[in-house]
Amino acid sequence: MIRGGTTSSRQHHSGHDKLGDFNVHPRMLLIAAWALPVGALGALAAYLLLALIGLTTNAVFYQRISTDLVAPGAHDHPWWLVLGAPVVGGLLIGLMARYGSEKIRGHGMPEAIESILVGGSRVQPKVALLKPLSAAISIGSGGPFGAEGPIIMTGGAVGSILAQHLRLTADERKTLLVAGAAAGMAATFNSPLAAVLLAVELLLFEWRPRSLVPVVAAVAVATVVRMPLLGSAPIFPVLHSDVQVPWDADVLSLVVGVCGALVAVGATALVYFAEDQFARLPVHWMWWPAIGGVIIGVGGLIEPRALGVGYDVIDQLLTGNSTTELIVGILVVKTLIWSLSLGSGTSGGVLAPIFMIGAALGAAVGQVFPPVFPGFWAMLGLAAVVGGVMRSPIMGVVFTLELTHAWDALLPLLIASATAYAISVLVLKRSVLTEKIARRGLHLTRDYSTDPLETFFAADVMDSSPPSLLHASGLARRGEHYRVGARDTLRHAAYLFAEHEHTEAAVVDADGTVLGHLTIQSLLKARLHDLTEATEKEQVFSRRFGLPPSRR
C-alpha cells in the first residue's frame, strides 16, 4: 500500500531535484540576463520583417518604394498581376528552400518545435536570414499568410545562435530560442502576455522558473523596444465605451464557440488534405509553392481582400466596419486559399489568417445576433477559431483582449474559445501544429499534469523487508551514488539511476540509518498510482446512507 499525503505537502518537502535542478537559481539569472539582448534583437527582427513585407507588397502590387504595411487588394490591379504574382513568389520560395535551406518551408511554429524536440534547440544561422526573406516574398506577393510564424522562427534563430556561442545546456539553449520567438511575437502584435502563454503552451513544454523568467524578461524588453518602432497602442482597438455585456451574450457565445470549432476542424482538415495531395504530385516539392500560388491567384481574382497579411481587413471586422460581401468573401475565399496553399509547404504564418477567418465568422454570426458593441461578435469568433485551430484556448482569449483592449468581453471570449477547444479535441486527434510534427515521425503531447515521480518519496515505495535490509546495507557502504534519502522524491531517484546506470539504491534516514532499498520496479508504483487515479471509478458517498461504498 502506497502511503498517502497531499501533493502540495510532498512538493513542498521535495524541494529542488539534486540532479534535475542543480544550481537552478544562479543559472536562471544568467539565462535571464542573456535573454535581455535576445528580446531586443527579437523586436528588431519583427520590425525589419514587417518593413520587408511592406516593401515587397508595395513593389509588387503598387510599383513603388515604401515600407508601409499595405493590403494587396486595397485597389484594383490587373488580373495577370493578381494571378501571376503569387505564382512567381511561390517559385522563388521553392528555389530558396531547395538550394538555401529546407527549414524555411512551413509556417514556422512546427519547425521551431521540431528544432526543440530533436535538434537540441540548434538553428542554422542561414535560417535567420532566409526565413524572413522567404516570408516577405510569400506575403508580399499576395500569399494569405501572417508574419508571426516566420518571426517566431527568426526570433528563435536569434536566441539559438547566441546560445550556441555560449557554454549552455540543451535546456538553456531551448530557453533562449523560445525567448527570441516570444519576443518577436510580442513585438509583432504588442501582446506580451499572449506571447508568454504561446511560449509556455506551444514551445517550452514546461512551466518552470528556469525557463519562464528568462522568457518574460525577453518579452518585456521586446515590448519596450517596440514602442518607438511600431507604437504602443493596441493593434485593433475596439471602442466599446465600457458597455456591460448582457447575460444572453454569454449564452450565445456557446453558439459562436460551436461555429468556431466547425471552421477550425474544417480548415485543419483542408490543410492536411492539401498536403496529402501535393505529396502525390509527380514533381519535386520545389514546385509546390508555385502551384499553391495558382490557388492563391484564383482566390485573389474572386476576393482581392483575401490576399496578403490582411491587418486592415481584421481591423474592419473587429471594429464593425465590414460589409456583408467582405465578410462572406473572407470567410469562404480566405479559408480556402489559406488552407490549400499552406499545404504546399510555402513560407508564412497561421495566426493572422486565423484572426481574419475567425473575425469574419463572428461578424457573420453577429448579423443575426443582438448587438452588444461594434466588433463584439467578431472578437468572439476570433478567439473561438484560435482556440479550435491552435488548441490554445487561454492564449486565444488573451490574444484577443490584448489586440483590442476590450476587457469587458473576457467571460464570453473564454466561453467561446473553450467551447471550440473542447469540440476540436473531441473531433480531431491532433491540432494543425501537432499533426505536422506527427507526420515527421515525432510524438508530442501538450497535456500538463503532475509528474507522479514528483509526488512520492523514496520511503513511500521502498522495499523494507529484512533480506533487503542486509542488501541495502551493502549498497549504502558502496558510496553516496548508491543511496537516496528517505525524503528524496522518486524523480531524484530516477535521475540517480539514469546518471550512474544503477538499478537499485539504499534508502537511508537523515542519520544514515538504512531503512530499505529502492529498485527501478519501485518507481513503477508511482506510475501505477497515477494510472489508478485516472481509471478506477468509485462512488465516494452512498446514495442511501452517505457512507463510503466499496470501489467498483
At 503-529, the pLDDT tens digits run: 788 888 887 778 888 888 888 888 787
pLDDT at 160: 87
Where do the H-state alpha helices sit in 199-287? 209-230, 247-279
Closest CA to 463 of 523, 518, 527, 520: 518
pLDDT at 96: 92
Regarding predicted confidence, which is higher, 90 or 345? Answer: 90
For the structural domain made of 451-535, what CATH number should be given?
3.90.1280.20
What does the alpha-carbon distance between residue 125 and residue 105 come to, in Å, rounded to a whole number? 16
Q: Per the structure block, which three cell numbers stand in for 195? A: 506571447
Closest CA to 292 of 352, 342, 351: 342
- The alpha carbon torsion through 142, 144, 146, 147 (nearest 10 deg) reads -20
DSSP strand pairing (483-485 vs 504-508)? parallel
What does the alpha-carbon distance between residue 9 and residue 518 come to, in Å, rounded to a whole number? 22
pLDDT in tens, 471-505: 656 665 666 667 788 888 888 888 888 888 777 88
pLDDT in tens, 172-190: 988 999 999 999 999 988 9
Gyration radius from the chain CA atoms: 27
Q: Using an 8 Å Cβ cutoff, are 141 and 348 in contact?
A: no
Q: Could you write out the DSSP letters of every residue in 18-77?
A: TTTTTTHHHHHHHHHHHHHHHHHHHHHHHHHHHHHHHHHHIIIII-S-------GGGS--
pLDDT at 17: 44
pLDDT in tens, 190-203: 999 999 998 888 88
Q: In the beta sheet, which residues pair with residue 106?
A: 347
Domain 17-230 class? mainly alpha
CA 141 to each of CA 22, 105, 312, 340: distance values in angstroms, whole numbers, following the listed order: 50, 16, 17, 17
Of all residues in the chain, the percent with pLDDT exceeding 90 is 36
Res. 359: pLDDT tops 50: yes
pTM to 2 decimals?
A: 0.81
What does the alpha-carbon distance between residue 160 and residue 38 come to, in Å, rounded to a whole number? 9
3-state secondary structure of 366: coil
Q: Using an 8 Å Cβ cutoff, are 407 and 193 in contact?
A: no
Regarding predicted confidence, which is higher, 366 or 478? Answer: 366
Closest CA to 344 of 269, 271, 421: 271
Q: Using an 8 Å Cβ cutoff, are 521 and 528 in contact?
A: no
Domain 247-439 class? mainly alpha
pLDDT in tens, 7-52: 333 343 444 444 444 455 678 899 999 999 999 999 999 999 999 9
The stretch 139-153 carries a mean pLDDT of: 85
Regarding predicted confidence, which is higher, 84 or 247? Answer: 84
Q: Per the structure block, which three cell numbers stand in for 133? A: 526573406
Same CATH topology for 247-439 and 451-535: the answer is no
**Residue reference for cell 508564412:** 348
What confidence tier does 249 reach under pLDDT thresholds 50, 70, 90?
confident
pLDDT at 443: 57
Q: What are the extents of the domains in the chain?
A: 17-230, 247-439, 451-535
Res. 538: pLDDT tops 90: no
Instruction: Work out the mean pLDDT of the chain and round it to a whole number.
Output: 83
